[in-house]
């Protein structure tokens, strides 16, 4: 695969996307019910919203400690007052993004993502992976997608670390299986109907899957206690989920979600494409390589240091990692040389 021509969105579109993203981050702090509380656990610092319900003190997870989050917490009262104005601004920004040609999101996908966000899935570490995450890099990177790159599948993949789910000591609002049921999703039958990790919405044929990294020889279903669901564990997924970033979904007045870092997504797609190159998933393997090649071309131009670090990290994963990467790169003309030249 030769180098591609990269078409960029306008500076206005790029600025509008990041303004929308910042407004959504502000919104996540403006909804505090009580007092922000710092909690140190296992060498990491987390922020919680501590509030009283009757005689009981509840703690709602806000996020891991960063200078940006601390600044927003300091401005929480002002952000709460500005909520109505910020909501109107988000609507205007999404209108700008549509006019500038950013990819729209269909109502079924947008409605599901909004419901998951409202329940706390992304606040509690859930990360969108797969094709939907790839589409969201359009705003993050400020690049235009061609039609063949923009095709949306009916699958929405949500991944999270099982250990993070335990460490946060918080859970989604209500029951996630109950929420999915209200949205007309049903568990996809499997070997154990009590441990379903795939849910299908019959009216739109939309499929949501929950995933988690595997740290053993087996790939099996594991509980994500913070989300209240089971997930299919997969090898190599821990690489993808390291240090995820926030993203804005252009549905209604915006939805704040979490996606992998684009450089890790690109390298992970190479690894996954080699796992899928035979059998029923061979067509997905081709799609994986195309997405990886597209992002690597963009990142080699705009974020070469981050791309180089992700590539070196994957090469350091061990012989099997290097074998998967080498096999995938051998199928994409010029890509290995491009990575080696970073």
- pLDDT tens string 60-93: 999 999 999 999 999 988 999 999 999 999 999 9
| Domain termination residue (choose one: 228, 260, 292) | 260
Residue 42 lies in a domain: yes
Pairing status of strand 127-129 against strand 56-64: unpaired
Percent of the chain predicted with pLDDT > 90:
70
Is 2 a member of any domain?
Answer: no
Residues 279, 210 share a domain: no
State yes or no: pLDDT of 4 exceeds 80: no
**Structural domain tally of the chain?**
2
The pLDDT, as a whole number, for residue 245 is 97
Same domain, 324 and 337: yes
Which pLDDT does position 329 carry in this prediction? 93
Is residue 178 pLDDT above 60, yes or no? yes
127 to 71, 212, 222, 232: CA distances (angstroms): 24, 10, 16, 14
pLDDT at position 18: 97
**Confidence tier at 193 by pLDDT (50, 70, 90):** low
pLDDT band at residue 164 under the 50/70/90 scheme: confident
Q: How confident is the model at residue 317 (pLDDT cuts 50, 70, 90)?
A: very high
Arithmetic mean of pLDDT, 110-114: 95
Q: Above 60 in pLDDT, residue 3?
A: no
3-state SS, 231-282, equals EEEECCHHHHHCCCEEEEECCCCCEEEEECCHHHHHHHHHHHHHHCCCHHHH
**59 has which bridge partners?**
50
Same domain, 142 and 31: yes
Same-domain pairing of 207 and 292: no
Residue 147 has pLDDT above 70, yes or no: no
Q: What is the mean pLDDT of residues 130-141?
A: 94
DSSP assignment, residue 8?
B
pLDDT bin (cut points 50, 70, 90) of residue 53 is confident
**What pLDDT is recorded for position 144?**
92
In the prediction, which pLDDT does 259 show? Answer: 98
Give me the percent of the chain exceeding a pLDDT of 70. 94
For residue 163, which phi and psi values (nearest 5 degrees)? -70, -35
How high is the pLDDT of residue 192? Answer: 65
Residue 1 lies in a domain: no
| Per-residue buried b or exposed e for 119-147, using 16+ beta carbons within 10 Å of the residue's own CB | bbbbbbbbbbbbbbbbbbbbbbbbbbbee
**Judgement on whether residues 190 and 319 belong to the same structural domain of the protein:** no
Residues 210 and 286 grouped into a single domain: no
Average pLDDT for 43-55: 90
Determine how β-strand 198-201 pairs with β-strand 44-53: unpaired
More confident residue, 329 or 164: 329
What does the alpha-carbon distance between residue 139 and residue 96 come to, in Å, rounded to a whole number?
A: 12
For CA atoms 213, 217, 218, 221, give the dihedral sign: negative
CA 59 to chain centre: 24
This prediction has a pTM of 0.92
Q: Where are the beta strands (DSSP E) in 27-125?
A: 35-41, 44-53, 56-64
Whether residue 318 sits in one domain with residue 198: no
Report the pLDDT averaged over residues 15-26: 96
**End of a domain among 226, 260, 294?**
260
Establish if 6 belongs to a structural domain: no
Does 290 lie in the same domain as 256?
no
In a domain, 4, yes or no: no
Residue 74 located in a structural domain: yes
- Domain check: are 97 and 126 in the same one? yes
Mean pLDDT, residues 146-170:
80
Q: Is the pLDDT of residue 2 over 50?
A: no
Query: Which band of pLDDT confidence, cut at 50, 70 and 90, is reported for residue 195?
Result: confident
Does 55 share its domain with 122? yes
Region 204-223 average pLDDT: 91
Among the listed residues 219, 213, 271, 269, the one whose alpha carbon sits nearest the alpha carbon of residue 242: 213
Identify the CA nearest to 308 among candidates 252, 248, 264, 254: 264
Q: Of 207, 235, 260, which residue is a domain's last?
A: 260
Q: Are residues 291 and 331 in the same domain?
A: yes
Residue 151 is predicted with a pLDDT of 63
Q: Is the pLDDT of residue 1 over 60?
A: no
Do 243 and 261 meet the contact criterion of CB atoms below 8 Å apart?
yes
| 263 touches 294 (CB < 8 A) | no
Lowest mean per-residue pLDDT among 56-70, 121-135, 181-195, 246-260: 181-195
Beta strands in 55-122, from DSSP E residues, in sequence order? 56-64
pLDDT given for residue 124 in this prediction = 92
Segment among 115-119, 287-291, 305-309 with least mean pLDDT: 287-291
List the domain range (segments joined by +) for residue 31: 11-260
Mean pLDDT of the chain: 90
Phi first, then psi: give them for residue 334, nearest 5 degrees: 80, -10
């Amino acid at each position: 695969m030769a180098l591609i021509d990269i078409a960029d969105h306008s500076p206005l579109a790029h600025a509008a996307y990041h303004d929308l993203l910042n407004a959504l981050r502000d919104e996540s702090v403006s909804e505090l019910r009580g007092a922000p509380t710092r909690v140190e656990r296992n060498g990491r610092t987390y922020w919680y919203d501590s509030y009283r319900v009757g005689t009981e003190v509840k703690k709602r997870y806000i996020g891991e400690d960063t200078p940006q989050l601390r600044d927003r917490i300091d401005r929480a009262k002002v952000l709460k007052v500005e909520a109505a104005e910020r909501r109107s601004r988000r609507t205007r920004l999404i209108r700008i993004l549509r006019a500038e040609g950013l990819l729209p999101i269909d109502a079924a996908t947008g409605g599901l993502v909004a419901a998951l966000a409202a329940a706390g899935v992304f606040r509690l570490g859930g990360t969108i992976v797969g094709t939907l995450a790839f589409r969201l890099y359009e705003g993050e990177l400020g690049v235009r997608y061609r039609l063949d790159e923009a095709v949306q599948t009916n699958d929405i993949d949500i991944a999270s670390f099982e250990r993070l789910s335990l460490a946060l000591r918080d859970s989604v609002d209500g029951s996630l299986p109950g929420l999915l049921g209200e949205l007309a999703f049903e568990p996809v039958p499997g070997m154990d109907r009590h441990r379903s990790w795939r849910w299908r919405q019959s009216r739109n044929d939309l499929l949501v899957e929950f995933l988690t990294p595997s740290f053993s020889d087996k790939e099996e279903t594991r509980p994500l206690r913070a989300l209240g669901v089971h997930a299919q564990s997969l090898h190599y997924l821990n690489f993808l989920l390291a240090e995820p970033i926030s993203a804005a979904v252009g549905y209604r007045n915006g939805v704040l979600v979490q996606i992998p870092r684009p450089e890790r997504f690109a390298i992970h797609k190479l690894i996954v494409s080699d796992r899928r190159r035979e059998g029923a998933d061979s067509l997905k393997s081709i799609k994986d390589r195309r997405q990886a090649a597209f992002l690597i071309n963009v990142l080699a131009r705009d974020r070469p240091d981050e791309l180089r670090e992700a590539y070196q990290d994957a090469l350091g994963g061990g012989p099997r990692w290097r074998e998967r990467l080498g096999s995938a790169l051998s199928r994409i003309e010029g890509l290995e040389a491009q990575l080696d030249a970073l």
